[in-house]
Structure 1
Amino acid sequence: MSIGISDEHLELAASLRKWAADLKGRELARAAEGDVGERFGRVWQAVRDMDVHAIAAPESAGGGGGTVLDQAVALEACAHELVPGGLLGAAIGSTLTGRPGRYGVQVRPGGAVWDGGTADEVLGPDGSFFVGEVRPEAGLDLGARHGRVVEPRAVEADERVRRTAITLAAAEAAGVARWCLSTAVEYAKVREQFGQRIGAFQAVKHLCAEMLETAEAVTAAAWDAASAADARDEDQWEFAAAVAHATCFDGAVEVAKACIQVLGGIGFTFEHDAHLYLRRALALRALVGDGDAAAERLTAAAVDGVRRRVHLDLEGRDGPIRDDVRATVERIAQLPEEQRRAAYVETGYLTPHWPAPYGLGADAVTQIVIDQELARSGLSRPDLVIAAWALPTILEHGTDAQRERFVKPSLLGDLVWCQLFSEPGAGSDLASLRTRASRVDGGWRLSGQKVWNSVAERADWGICLARTDPDAPKHRGISYFLVDMRNSPGIDVRPLREITGKALFNEVFLDDVFVPDEMVVGDVDDGWRLARTTLANERVAMAGSRLSTSTERAVELATAGVTPAQQVAVGHSIASSTVCSLLGVRATLRSLAGRGPGPESSVAKLLGVRNRQDGAELVVSLHGDDVLLDASDEVRRDVWEMLNTRCLSIAGGTTQILRNVAGERILGLPRQPRTVHR
């Protein structure tokens, strides 16, 4: 997905990509190799005719009168087609001065002048115009002519110059990453080796999925920096720009390198365009400077209490419902805590996206307003745990009797659920499960072994997949059962001690357990489809301002003083955690715009797992050798969290399986042909 989310931004990006492609920037860049003279005059004339560089400049000065986000959308689209000749410098200068022009910009005192080799005017790091000679040089980026100040002068850097430059350069980095991702994926779909398309090989598929993760992170951070610039809150813009600095430029370089890796030998040739994008990504990173400095700034800001707070503009659509929602939430808040859960259920506020009478069938706007008002009142909903997986299936596929018996009591917390899906020989590959269900009078007898079952030791009911037709193909012949965990003879629940030393999971042995026909959900042999149920009216969540648990803990430890290297590490964790929240915000905005879910939710899980695991490990490293001793309760808790988070890349589908899914369902890469043994 591109930086733009609204219809207007999507249309702007599409039209500019088409316009930019006609400029044939990649051909011009090759033709200008090593030549420091003006080779991009035709491109600049086209840019000026379209005012692409001056979208954020006021109309009164001859600009487009748009926002910084509008300008970022345009830059991303043009970078996708590698428009040469100084567009980025012109956009930065026009945005800073409010006057359209062909600018070079020196962001760091003594550093290179961005696009100074093609500029009419040069802005210095202090925001003033530079008077003196700027010598153009042909460097790494064949599509740009940066410059060197012949007689540099000492000036103080202006933070607004730096932030504007990083914000708009991040948009270019997003465009580079997008082109590299799409180019690699399209090649992997058609290139054949060893008798099949290379995109079917898991190694290539995972590499492309990792490119998707990084490209989405780059895009989200670039979008947020531009959005924060428009909000005119300097602290928030500084924070968002630092996240973009720490995320976008290293990310674009990594995606560009991975693109060449997927392309193989053809990607290493000068004739292929891939190296031009790698050159642009490397040049952008060199221009903005080391991302570690941004990470240090993030740590300092977070220690001072700054967090990214993204405002969702509901465009007045909340007006008709806001007062009623606020009044309902205030009534709930006035109740004793032990009565609030029942009030959540009765009002539908516990699961507002579910259909009535268990929810409100709420649209995205209503869900967001409810979340906002709950947060304003300091309220949080109780966690449904496994019931959040079981009840949607019962709602959609169960009988009226099943819904009546199970849904409301579970919402009230009177019934606790566990999930009996995974097996020792069928973890992520649930279709290979071996637990069998044999038909008997009035129902079924279930026999088999389940594993990794949380809360099974105290569950009232379990949702269970079992094979009802052993002769059917593996994804068929499976049925979905509701198992009475307390009253059914033949169930043996055994605690399973994990690497933390505690037993949060269980093994469950089913020995001829009877399940009556009325406890089969949906049709017999249709359980695989049911297991993948999601309600048509998807949950829309409002992202909070808090970082992930481990990252917040790392910030807390940083307040007591850490080494410079540790401060950098904490800052990168802050950037990663913030990006995960931004992906959720973008998914919510997409829902508000009436579009289906994009890749953000899948990417958010993959990046979120990595952030939580890396963050927990970082926290332990901040304790140093205290973890080797009979440590305090505080240190023991942090060590337990680090060990416990190792399960996150396994539970709910391993990271590797999820990357297969992302590669095939989001990127459209081919499945690996199955080998049939005869």
Structure 2
Amino acid sequence: MSIGISDEQAELADSLRKWAASLSPLAAVRAAEGEVSACFADVWAAADEMGIAAIAVPESAGGGGGSLLDQAVALEACAHELVPGGLLGATIGSLLTGRPGRYGVQVHPGGVVWDGGALAADPDRLLLLDDGGTVTSEPGLDLGSRHARLAGGAAASTDERRRLLAVTLAAAEASGVTRWCLETAVDYAKVREQFGQKIGAFQAIKHLCAQMLETAESVTAAAWDAAGAATLHDTDDSADADAQWAFAVDVAQAICFDGAVEVAKACIQVLGGIGFTYEHDAHLYLRRALSLRALVGSADAAAERLTAAAVTGTRRRVDVDLEGRDEAIRPGVRTTSEQIAGLPAAEQRAALVDAGYLTPHWPAPYGLGADPATQLVIDQELGRAGVVRPDLVIAGWAVPTILAHGTDAQRERFVRPSLLGELTWCQLFSEPGSGSDLASLRTRAVRVDGGWSLTGQKVWTSVAERADWGICLARTDPDAPQHKGITYFLVDMRSPGIEVRPLREITGEALFNEVFLDDVLVPDDCVVAEPGDGWKLARTTLANERVAMASARLTKSVERAVELAATRDLGPVARTEVGHQVALATVGGLLGVRTTLRALGGHGPGAESSVAKLLGVRSRQESSELVVTLQGDDLALLGPLGKESDDPLAADVWEQLNTRCLSIAGGTTQILRNVAGERILGLPR
């Protein structure tokens, strides 16, 4: 998925990629190697005719009248094909002057003149910060660009708007470079054979490509957000709009350019020897990525600015525009939400259930069958009224399966009591020998009079010690293939033959349990669907997925790191590390916002929804570890661990240790990368 989310922007990106490819841009880049005078004339003439660099310039000035986000989509598409000749400088200059044309732009005082190499003799087209001096063309690392050197000028003050524009648009180019590198590596891994099979089937290659996907989605999200913040800034000249755009730009600078370089390098690694040859195009994209990173400046400097902004209270806020779809429903939702808020706390849950607001995406009578826009309005209005929905925990997984595949009697028996909190559920899936490899489970179910007898051992079972019911997978046909002979049971946790033993974890607490089943009777009316359907049911989600009101807020440990930066003299290195975690957590939230916007547009979840979990795990683990590291040798004088400990450091260490489970629970990070490689990127099994 490119920067653009709307159908119109997706069509723009697709048409521009095709147009750019028709220009044979890479042939032009190779033909101009070493040439520092006027070059790429044919490509530039075509770009000028298309008005690529002036998409966001007002129509009254000869531009396209589009948004800055539209402009970013166009630059990303052109960078995907490595269109040469100075689009970046031309776009920045056209936006700064309000006049479409070719420009060389000095973004940093004393720095390089971006895309000024072919314009050294045309001072009217050079937008310089320094006074005086001589502009000379210089060959550069990026064979598709012609930058220039300014010598002898007097240093001038920084133009902040110019810098923000430049980083915003350069991030869009970085996203295009990243996308090409990912696609090229994946396409090659699908066809290149070694040792008798496609290299994409090798787990090492699959994981490398999945990590490229994670980085590419992060780069895209950060570039998209910077362009979106710039678009809103064009209609809002408030100090808050300034701060939001600057924050989004610093996130992009911290994420996009290092990310583009890493993906370009990984592309060459997947390509192997052919990728290291001059004849292959991969090195041209690596050169562009390295050049962009050098032009925009240090990611660490951006990270330190993010820390400073976060300490003063700035957080990225991304508003979701419902485009009028909320106007007809919002008054009624607001009234109902306020009525629920006015009830005693003990009565609010039942009112949420009765209104369908606890699970609005579920079908009636347990929900509203609400579309994404209605779900978001309900989220907004409940939040505005101060109503907090209770967490269904495991019931949120068990009940949808019963709704979709259970009998009317099962729905009547289990759904409403679960919503009301009268029933607590646990999940009896994992076993000592089958964690991520769920299909290898060994708990057996044998047919007996009136039902089934279950015998086996389950592990890592949260809340089993207090659960009323458990959803359980057991093997009913030992002769069937692994995925075929499994059945989905609803198990009364008070049944004879069930023993629950707590498992003490590395935090010192016991949140998980082992569950032993010894000839546990499960009646026939507690089998969901048919025997043998269990594997399919275990992967069930309702067709009408829950759409959450995503935000780019920071996670608990990142907020704690910001608190430490505000209250301790951490030094520049540590403050930079905090800023990088601020950027990573913000991008994790942005991925969620993009998923929400895709749902509003009628599209299913894209790659960003899968990447968000992997990125979220990394963010929480890294930030919780950083929080402890920032406190130095105080760790040696630690009090008793506990999530709510009176000793802040003890609580911080508890969080660090507890987050180790995140890359294991719900499928290990390595297994999820296998899944991403196969199901998203299409790599062979």
Q: TM-score, normalised by structure 1?
A: 0.97
Structure 2 matches for 1:22-421, cutoff 5 A?
A: 22-119=22-119, 120=122, 121-125=125-129, 132-232=133-233, 233-421=241-429
What SS does the corresponding residue of 2:624 show, helix, strand or coil? helix
Aligned to 1:648: 662
Letter in 2 for 1:638: D
* Kept after mapping to 2: 8 A contact 1:184/1:263: yes
Alignment-derived partner of residue 554 in structure 1: 561
Deviation at 1:123, TM superposition (A): 1.5
Task: Confirm or deny: 8 A CA contact 2:35 2:139 kept in the other structure.
Answer: yes
Unaligned runs of 5+ in 2: 234-240, 640-645
Shift of 1:556: 1.4
Letter in structure 1 aligned against 2:339: R
Equivalent residue for 1:611?
A: 619
Could you tell me which amino acid in structure 2 is paired with residue 648 of structure 1?
Answer: L
Q: CA deviation at 1:131?
A: 5.8
- Higher alpha-carbon deviation: 627-636 or 37-46: 627-636
Do the aligned residues in 2 keep the contact of 1:180 with 1:255 (CA within 8 Å)? yes
Once the 2 structures are TM-superposed, how far is the Cα of residue 482 of structure 1 from its aligned partner? 0.5
The structure-2 alpha-carbon separation of the partners of 1:425 and 1:570, relative to structure 1 and needing over 3 Å to count, comes to: same
Q: Which residue of 2 aligns with 1:660?
A: 674
Distance (Å, rounded) in 2 between the aligned partners of 1:97 and 1:349:
51
Alignment partner of 2:525 out of 518, 522, 527: 518
Paired amino acid for 2:511: L
Go from structure 1 to structure 2 and tell me whether the alpha carbon gap of 1:245 and 1:605 turns closer, same or farther (over 3 Å shift): same
**Distance in 2 separating the partners of 1:76 and 1:56:** 14
Q: Which residue of 2 aligns with 1:500?
A: 507
Q: Deviations over 1:480-520 (max 9, x none)?
A: 0000002x111010000111111100000000100000000
The one-letter code sitting in structure 1 at the alignment partner of 2:306 is L
Displacement, 1:150?
2.6
Gap runs ≥5 in structure 1? 672-678
Q: Give distance in 1, aligned partners of 2:523 and 2:446.
A: 12
Question: Given residue 143 of structure 1, which amino acid in structure 2 is its aligned partner?
Answer: G
Mapping 1:533-544, distance limit 5 Å: 533-544=540-551
RMSD: 1.0
Asked if structure 2 preserves the Cα contact closer than 8 Å seen for 1:58 and 1:99, the reply is: no
CA distance in 2, matches of 1:512, 1:267: 59
CA displacement 1:114-171 (0-9 Å, x = unmatched): 1110235122348xxx765311111100000110013222100011011000000000
Deviation by residue 1:379-418 (Cα, 9 ceiling, x = unmatched):
3211111111100000000111111111111111111000
Q: Distance in 2 between matches of 1:157 and 1:339?
A: 58
Deviation at 1:267, TM superposition (A): 0.2
Deviation at 1:38, TM superposition (A): 1.5
1:561-580 alignment to 2 at 5 Å? 561=568, 562-580=570-588
Q: Evaluate the alpha carbon distance shift between residue 131 and residue 17 of structure 1 in structure 2; reply closer, same or farther with a 3 A threshold.
A: farther
CA distance, structure 2, for counterparts of residue 399 and residue 588 of structure 1: 32
1:216-273 residue CA offsets vs partner (Å, 9 max, x unmatched): 0000000000000011111110010010000000000000000000000000000000
- 1:527 CA drift (Å): 0.3
Q: How far apart, CA to CA, are the structure 1 residues paired with 2:386 and 2:268?
A: 50
1:323 Cα deviation after fit? 0.4
Structure 1 window deviating more from structure 2 (104-113 vs 205-214): it is: 104-113
Counterpart position of 1:527: 534
Using the alignment, how far apart are the partners of 2:536 and 2:411 within structure 1? 19
Moved more, 4-13 or 162-171: 4-13
User: What is the percentage of aligned positions where both structures have the same residue?
Assistant: 74
Structure-1 residue corresponding to 2:643: none
C-alpha contact 2:135 2:151 (8 A) present in aligned 1? yes
The amino acid that maps onto 2:400 is P
Aligned-partner SS, 1:281: helix
Contact 2:552 2:593 in 1 (8 A): no
Structure 1 residue 656, shift from structure 2 partner: 0.5
SS of the residue 2:453 aligns to: strand
The secondary structure found in structure 2 opposite 1:320 is: coil
Q: Closer, same or farther in 2 for the Cα pair 1:264/1:666, shift >3 Å?
A: same
Q: Secondary structure at the match of 2:567?
A: coil
Q: Could you tell me which amino acid in structure 2 is paired with residue 573 of structure 1? A: Q
Asked if the contact 1:125/1:162 (under 8 Å) is kept, the reply is no
Cα distance between partner residues in 1 of 2:293 and 2:383:
39
| Residue 634 in structure 1 maps to residue 648 in structure 2 | yes
Q: What amino acid does structure 1 have at the position aligned with 2:456?
A: G
Q: Which moved more, 1:258-267 or 1:329-338?
A: 329-338
Aligned to 1:445: 453
